[in-house]
Chains A and B, each alone.
Chain A
């Protein structure tokens, strides 16, 4: 069965520093991969998704993620973090049927001034 592991429960970075959130997945076929962000009091918002093609995916708010099949990873990156990026980030994996989608436990990002 498919699964997602986000090894870091909580990460703290300084504003302006670079960020990388890790995501490892297990899936028996070609995965569809997603990153969602959940800001306090708000619903989940899609940051970016990978279905096929270029393995480096650009998303909203300056985020990007790279699909590495050999490492079963889909890490999220941002070159310079802003205070407004403080939120919970979820990685998800799915297949052609969206009812197969499974989410990781999330990584909480704290941004220090």
Chain B
């Protein structure tokens, strides 16, 4: 596609429910990132996928958060048993990485605004 897309654009859920957020990266981009942006704060790194390598999960805030990616395509971020503090905009980005050293640029999607009541 022309850019990174995310769905849904908005999600309202009740505390304790599970949610799934989807990211479609730019075709051909091998790297995919998830970030969380709480109101009035900067981006918080969550997880990073690069090709077939093991993902870097170092930013996931708790074991309620998980993410998957199928090959070099779609990724889903799952939040189980949502809490009110999970309310935020979840941003996905993709980039093309060429080798270990890369000066690639991340291209961001419009985000999913999650509200946990």
Contacts and interface: CB of A to CB of B under 8 A. Distances in A.
Interface string B73-117: 000000000000000000101010100111111111111000000
Nearest to B93: A44
Given A90-B43, A103-B42, A98 B104 contact: yes
A98 B31 contact: yes
Interface size class of A (residues with CB under 8 A): 20 to 34
Contact of A43 (B48, B95, B101, B108): B108
A43 B110 contact: yes
A43 B31 contact: no
B42 A49 contact: no
A96 B43 contact: no
A63 interface: no
Interface residues of B, number: 31
B48 A99 contact: yes
B42 A104 contact: yes
A98 B43 contact: no
Contacts of A105: 40-42
B91 A43 contact: yes
A16 to B, nearest CB: 28
Given A99-B33, A103-B42, A104-B42, A44 B102 contact: no
Interface string A40-65: 01111110010100000000000000
A35 to B, nearest CB: 12
A96 B102 contact: yes
A90 B56 contact: no
Interface string A1-24: 000101000000000000000000
A42 B108 CA distance: 10
B4 interface: yes
